[in-house]
Structure 1
Amino acid sequence: MTMTTRPGGRGSPFLKGVRVLDVTGALAGPYCTTILSDLGAEVLKVEPVSGDGMRARRMGPGRRSLPFDLIHRDKSSLAVDLKAPEGVDIVRSLARRSDVLVENFRAGAMARLGLGYEDLRPDCPDLVYCSISGFGQFGPMREAKGIDLIAQAYSGLMSVTGSTDGQLAKAGFPVSDLGSGMWGAIGVLAALLRARAGGGGAYVDVALADSVAAWSLWEVADYVATGVEPAPLGTAHRLAAPYEAFTCSDGATLVLGAVDRAWEALCAVLGVDLSGDARFATEYERFVHRESLAAILQARFSTATRDHWMEALRAAGVPCGPVNGIGDVLTDEQFAERGLFVHDEDRFGQPTIVNTPIVADGAPRARGPAPVLGSDTAAVLAGLGYDDERIAALVEAGVVGVRPSPGAASTPPPASEPVTDSARAVRAPR
């Protein structure tokens, strides 16, 4: 059945009432908790007193950090120094009131702070604890530094990405980070189901390298079948042809004409008769001779505009689509109708927000801006039973940071080393 109407949003958010403690930095961990937030969870971001390092990445003079705001929208902010015992006590207390904790430090870093899963488990038996790291919590690569590009290379992705002349390339998007965030969210949701059913908490271990290597389905099938190392193919498909991008007179279009019905329609649209050429008689032969076939088709595509060919191909039932730039994507009518990009600076404090691509009754998606550093520290501590005098003492000692009142001087960074620097000793978050 084809759905022709948009979900009405009548139900309550899927994760209403779920409390997530976000002890993350950079991209993979924050993306995981943003997905949970967009599904309705209440997310408290724990960050250094000096602020998450991503806050410093401003994309223009006088503007807030767009990268930070994109991946921390709808969250609250607790500024706390995890090097200080009092800071660790605060996070332990919050864990007892949380359903989920997500962290993405190097393996073992949270345990060295006394905040590992086994440290918290006695007091938090139902806690779902998710660790995202470069290579996971066990194995010979456990201690190795793992960032997005390293994971792309280690997982085999970089060996099959790039042009047919052997020039390697990374994926254009940080797929290791984003994919790990997605796998983390999937694991958390599954563990929450078990916890809510009375099965207790769980430890979810996600690795950047695993996340990308798990997508190598076609490449593994190719290698197992042939024994030959898969190589970069540009835009071509690993197992079918024609199935790639062709350059038109004013742009490129991706065309899928591998199966017989689409192949015949493609030839008719292009006005080429290849019915008598044995090289292209079957799907398999077209795949074997894909380079020769691509050259013939490219000569025809270059004679007219992209829109001309796409209109004709779509009318004939041949799958095709434009190769869009980011500027095209941000103004595309389909994405606009789906609400994937939200252009509302008054609401989000930034001109554009990238939404979570889950459209469903009960999924609220992006709702509000990212928090100001320490904007919720005082309220969080008060909720834990700290009185004003004790909160003030913690601020004075540099253990926590609070958002200053309007017109007040900003709280200076603590004299002691902030957690952003200490993270180098306990292994920096991804």
Structure 2
Amino acid sequence: MTAAVNSARPGQAFLEGVRVLDVTGALAGPYCTTILSDLGADVLKIEPLTGDRMRARRLGPDRRPLPFVLTHRDKGSLAVDMKSAAGAEIVRSLARRSNVLVENFRAGAMARLGLGYEDLRPECPDLVYCSISGFGQFGPMRDAKGIDLIAQAYSGLMSVTGTTDGQLAKAGFPVSDVGTGMWGAIGVLAALLRARAGGGGAYVDVALADSVAAWSLWEVADYVATGVEPVPLGTAHRLAAPYEAFTCQDDATLVLGAVDRAWEALCAVLEIDLGDDPRFATEYERFLNRGSLAEIIKARFATAPRDHWMDALRSAGVPCGPVNSIGAILRDEQFAARGLFLHDEKRFAEPTIVNTPIVADGAPRARGPAPEVGADTLAILGELGYDDERIAALVEDGVVGVPDADESLYTLAVRSAEGQK
């Protein structure tokens, strides 16, 4: 059954009523909380008075802060100096009212502010606290700085990514950042289940290096079986063939994975008879002789355009697909039907949003724009019981920030004066 992306049955959001404190920066932490937000959680971004550093990364001729926007949609914003005693107390008060706290400072940084898991647990016994870092909260690399590129190298990923002539490359997407954000979200969701069942809160510790190394299933299997260090294979698969990219007559590229029963269908489409060739008699022989096999297949693909081959291969049941550019995926009809890229500047205040790829009743997905710095500061402090006079003092002392300090102070002064009448 085919359905439009927005026609899912209406229902309660999976995480409706879950309050998340987002004490993160860069990409891994914010991506974790964006997933939780898209699943229905109420996420409050805690950021410095000058704003998250990602706000300064502006792209294009109109200098849009797109990196920040794409990972902070739907979130509230409280601008606060957590290094001050008054600021730390505000965050502590918010933790008491929250279900989840996600942070991605260097190991031990939150504890030095009195906001670590052990600091908050006595007052917040049901809090799910997720720490995201380069190498985790313990081990000999605990204090080392970890970023996406370092994690890709340290985890072994870079040693097997690149061309067959040994030219190494990093993955084109920041896989350690987004992957760690996903692992963090998975850990938070599991811990929330236990907390809601009465099992209490939990400390979730996820690391960039761990997250990527945990994906090394094929490579570890290859090494354990052979004792030989895996090397870059370009687009080829480590354990199967033919399973790689091929260039066609029109210089466009397709990928295919013709293993098991698809092998005979591939030979029929390409009109190649390899039935009597012992090099390709079984899947294992085809894998061992994948270089020779690739040359035969490459020659056939060079005789016709990509669309011709893809139509024929798909009709025959052979898994295949195009190598799309980023521009192509933004225009792709399949992704459009799935609602993966949202082009709605009126709704999001930006031209394109990358959605969370979960389509289900209860998953509202991306709903609104990213906030201004401190957009919710006044409202949040009011909810915590701070009166207007005290809020004004915190603004003037540089403990909290608001979008327009002069206007906000004036509003607070007027409200305070009216309240004293």
Equivalent residue number for residue 299 of structure 1:
299
1:162 aligns with 2:157: no
Displacement of 1:264 = 1.2
Equivalent residue number for residue 145 of structure 1:
145
1:262 aligns with 2:267: no
Unaligned runs of 5+ in 2: 411-421
1:378 aligns with 2:378: yes
How far apart, in 2, do the equivalents of 1:144 and 1:268 lie?
Answer: 54
Matches within 5 A, 1:411-422: none
The answer to whether the 8 A contact 1:9-1:364 is kept is no
How far apart, in 2, do the equivalents of 1:326 and 1:183 lie?
Answer: 25
Matches within 5 A, 1:11-410: 11-250=11-250, 251-259=252-260, 261-404=261-404
Unaligned runs of 5+ in 1: 411-430
Q: Would the alpha carbon gap of residues 109 and 405 (structure 1) be closer, same or farther in structure 2, given more than 3 Å must change?
A: closer
- 3-state DSSP class of the match of 1:77? strand
The answer to whether the 8 A contact 1:39-1:363 is kept is yes
How far apart, in 1, do the equivalents of 2:64 and 2:256 lie?
Answer: 41
How far apart, in 2, do the equivalents of 1:198 and 1:162 lie?
Answer: 48
- 3-state DSSP class of the match of 1:223? helix
How far apart, in 2, do the equivalents of 1:408 and 1:196 lie?
Answer: 39
Displacement of 1:276 = 1.8
- 1:38-83: CA deviation from partner (whole Å, max 9, x where unpaired): 0000000000000100001111344430010000000000000111
The answer to whether the 8 A contact 2:80-2:87 is kept is yes
- 3-state DSSP class of the match of 1:197? helix
How far apart, in 2, do the equivalents of 1:240 and 1:49 lie?
Answer: 53
The answer to whether the 8 A contact 1:243-1:257 is kept is yes
The answer to whether the 8 A contact 2:152-2:170 is kept is yes
The answer to whether the 8 A contact 2:21-2:102 is kept is yes
Counterpart AA for 2:258: G
Counterpart AA for 1:64: R
- 1:388-421: CA deviation from partner (whole Å, max 9, x where unpaired): 11111111111110111798899xxxxxxxxxxx
- 1:204-258: CA deviation from partner (whole Å, max 9, x where unpaired): 0000000000000000100000000000000000100000010012311111112
- 1:363-404: CA deviation from partner (whole Å, max 9, x where unpaired): 000000000111000100111111111111111111110111
The answer to whether the 8 A contact 1:9-1:363 is kept is no
The answer to whether the 8 A contact 2:402-2:408 is kept is no
- 3-state DSSP class of the match of 1:44? strand
Equivalent residue number for residue 414 of structure 2:
none
Displacement of 1:127 = 0.2
How far apart, in 2, do the equivalents of 1:177 and 1:38 lie?
Answer: 18
**Percent identical:** 80
How far apart, in 2, do the equivalents of 1:345 and 1:84 lie?
Answer: 38
Counterpart AA for 2:163: S
Which of 1 and 2 has higher RCO (CA within 8 Å, sep 6+)?
1
- 3-state DSSP class of the match of 1:171? coil
Q: Would the alpha carbon gap of residues 158 and 133 (structure 1) be closer, same or farther in structure 2, given more than 3 Å must change?
A: same
Q: Which moved more, 1:250-259 or 1:135-144?
A: 250-259
How far apart, in 2, do the equivalents of 1:392 and 1:116 lie?
Answer: 28
How far apart, in 2, do the equivalents of 1:367 and 1:395 lie?
Answer: 30
Displacement of 1:5 = 3.9
How far apart, in 2, do the equivalents of 1:273 and 1:223 lie?
Answer: 33
How far apart, in 2, do the equivalents of 1:360 and 1:167 lie?
Answer: 42
Counterpart AA for 1:333: E
Displacement of 1:267 = 1.1
Displacement of 1:9 = 3.3
Taking only aligned residues, the RMSD between alpha carbons, in angstroms, comes to: 1.5
Q: How many residues get paired?
A: 407
- 3-state DSSP class of the match of 1:131? strand
Displacement of 1:295 = 0.7
